[in-house]
Amino acid sequence: MIINSIADYQVTKDQNVAFNFRDIKYIVSGSSRKIEGIVPKNGYDEFDAAELGAPPYTVQVGYVNDSYRAAPIQVNSNDTLVTFRMGFPAPPNGPATFVYNKKP
């Protein structure tokens, strides 16, 4: 499994999007254990989720300080890219997680 972040973005007055990359924290749980880690800004983390037990894996991603965190998601494969993003202004935007499966 790979976890990365496009971090946060701000919709500007002129409707452009400005990105601000930042560290994020993740928690991944399988059937037998869980791990936590931090992904550095402009980076990613890769690990073997099978070591956490059988899928589905519960993944939660958010800011390191826990001020914004996306809702937990279920991932059914270890061959997955999980991406976090946070959009401002917070409403109507907010934290979200996207899941991309490896091409067969």
**For the whole model, what pTM was predicted?**
0.88
Amino acid 62: pLDDT: 94
* pLDDT value, residue 46: 96
| Cα–Cα distance, 91 to 8 (Å, whole number) | 14
Domain boundaries, the chain: 2-101
- For residues 79 and 52, the answer to whether their CB atoms sit within 8 Å is no
What pLDDT does 90 receive? 76
82: Cα separation from own chain's centroid = 5
Is there a contact between 71 and 82 (Cβ–Cβ < 8 Å)?
Answer: no
Output the pLDDT for position 93: 81
β-strands 2-11, 80-88 pairing: parallel
**pLDDT average per 10 residues of sequence, the chain (104 residues):** 89 88 95 96 94 96 93 95 89 88 85
